[in-house]
């Protein structure tokens, strides 16, 4: 097994000390969707791998889900809310236009010492957030950073559009990033990110922003919902994810065989399987849980990470690779040694 390259410039390491997740109780199954749009369980499963998605209750907000996931991560990390110095909340379905969802979470947690902000990078939001947390921790600025990925996508989903309504679900995942020393695991060792704004039409939700403000009648009333060009996204996602993984392998001085667990954004089982095949990743190294939750955008990787962490899929010394692709277009990855 190869060893991850080390850097003499880093006095500290950014270690994932705790994870947590929060999944709404309400479920929307494929059978439920057949009563809403013209589809079938076989059609959905074959094309996406999804069986069930969880939907927030009418009175359940983005900040509520985020806070519950955060509490679990904080408890597992063995710190208190008062120890958290920074809260980064990745979401495209915020509590409201402003203040940020992160500020609501800060208040709900009682994390009085923390400053907080939201990060909008769609499905790549959590890996972006880990990259930011990594830099704040390894340069010695903070000891404890909370990164959250959370979505209530059901609130911007058009349940008359078969192409999109079968895909999305709600949920939240969180991780506490603590400062570690050179005698422990390498933690979040390498992060990489990219964007291509020219591809925004592939994945978007146009209203209500400055381009389509609240006070201006919409030419297309459906602009309040998410739009996805599935064929275009499929092709772009596979290519960008493979390029991103190759970037990680090169800069970390390891091969794909050295990766113990590959946790991709859960966008579509067919995309994940295509990527794994091209990378020649063994099936047992690829984590897929999309059948239980659907695509939860920024929440999908932290939910999967928490499931793996608490379920014993991640062991001491394991190299875990997180990778995401989403609207923006955005993409990114984190290489972590536990």
The whole-angstrom separation of Cα 25 and Cα 55 is: 7
- Active-site hit among 295, 308, 309, 334: 295
**Phi/psi of residue 333, nearest 5 degrees:** -155, 155
Confidence check: pLDDT of 230 > 90: no
Instruction: Give per-residue pLDDT as tens, 188-203.
Output: 999 999 999 999 999 9
CA geometry: angle 192, 197, 203, nearest 5 deg = 95
Taking all residues of the chain, what is their mean pLDDT, rounded to a whole number? 95
Tens-digit pLDDT profile for residues 246-267: 999 999 999 999 999 999 999 9
Strands (DSSP E) found in the chain: 13-22, 27-29, 52-54, 86-90, 115-119, 144-152, 170-180, 187-195, 203-204, 227-228, 261-264, 319-326, 330-337
Q: Residue 8 — pLDDT band, cuts 50, 70, 90?
A: very low
Which two tokens mark 235? Answer: 């092709």
Query: How many domains does the chain divide into?
Result: 1
Which of 207, 228, 209 lies closest to 218 in space, CA to CA?
207
Q: Out of 265, 268, 309, 334, pick the active-site residue.
A: 265
Which pTM does this prediction carry? Answer: 0.96
What is the CATH number for 92? 3.40.47.10
Given a contact cutoff of 8 angstroms between Cβ atoms, the answer to whether 109 and 78 are in contact is no
Query: pLDDT tens-digit profile of 14-27?
Result: 999 999 999 999 99
Q: How many residues does the chain have?
A: 338
Query: Would you state the pLDDT for residue 1?
Result: 46
Contact (Cβ atoms closer than 8 angstroms) between residue 111 and residue 148: no
111: tokens are: 């994390």
CA distances from 138 to 126, 143, 269 (A): 18, 9, 35
- Core vs surface per residue 95-110: b (16+ CB within 10 A) or e: beeeebbbbbbbebbe
pLDDT tens for 142-165 read 999 999 999 999 999 999 999 899
Phi, psi of 289 (to 5 degrees): -130, 20
- CB-based burial label for 10 (10 Å; 0-12, 13-18, 19+): middle
125 Cβ neighbours under 8 A, 6+ residues apart: 90, 91, 92, 119, 149, 297, 298, 324, 326
Listed as own residue / partner, the contacts of 308-312 with beta carbons closer than 8 Å and 24 or more positions apart are: 308/261, 308/263, 309/16, 309/19, 310/19
| Residue 252 annotated to the active site | no
**Residue among 22, 123, 248, 308 flagged as catalytic:** 123
- 54 belongs to the catalytic site: no
Q: What's the confidence (pLDDT) of residue 10?
A: 65
Range of the domain at 22: 1-338
Give the per-residue pLDDT at 186: 94
Residue 183 annotated to the active site: no
């Amino acid at each position: 097994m190869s060893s991850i390259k080390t850097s003499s410039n880093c006095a500290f390491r950014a270690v994932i000390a705790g994870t947590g997740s929060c999944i709404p109780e309400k479920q929307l199954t494929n059978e439920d969707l057949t009563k809403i749009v013209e589809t079938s369980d076989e059609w959905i499963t074959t094309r996406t791998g999804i069986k069930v998605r969880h939907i927030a209750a009418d009175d359940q907000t983005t900040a509520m889900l985020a806070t519950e996931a955060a509490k679990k991560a904080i408890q597992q990390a063995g710190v208190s809310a008062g120890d958290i110095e920074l809260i980064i909340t990745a979401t495209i379905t915020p509590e409201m236009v402003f203040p940020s969802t992160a500020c609501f979470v800060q208040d709900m947690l009682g994390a009085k010492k923390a400053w907080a902000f939201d990060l909008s990078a769609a499905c790549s939001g959590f890996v972006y957030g880990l990259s930011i947390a990594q830099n704040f921790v390894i340069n010695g600025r903070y000891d404890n950073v909370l990164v959250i990925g959370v979505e209530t996508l059901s609130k911007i989903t058009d349940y008359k559009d078969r192409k999109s309504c079968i895909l999305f679900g709600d949920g939240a995942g969180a991780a506490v990033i603590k400062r570690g020393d050179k005698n422990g695991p390498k933690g979040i060792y390498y992060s990489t990110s990219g964007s291509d704004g020219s591809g925004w039409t592939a994945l978007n939700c146009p209203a209500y922003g400055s381009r389509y403000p609240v006070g201006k009648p919409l030419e297309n009333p459906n602009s309040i919902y998410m739009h996805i060009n599935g064929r275009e996204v499929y092709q772009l996602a596979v290519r960008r994810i493979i390029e991103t993984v190759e970037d990680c392998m090169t800069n970390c001085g390891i091969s794909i065989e050295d990766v113990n667990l590959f946790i991709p954004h859960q966008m579509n089982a067919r995309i994940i399987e295509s990527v794994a095949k091209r990378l020649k990743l063994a099936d047992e190294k690829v984590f897929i849980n999309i059948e239980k939750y659907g695509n939860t955008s920024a929440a999908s990787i932290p939910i999967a990470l928490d499931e793996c962490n608490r379920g014993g899929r991640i062991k001491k010394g394991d190299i875990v690779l997180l990778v995401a692709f989403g609207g923006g277009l955005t993409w990114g990855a984190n290489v972590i040694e536990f």
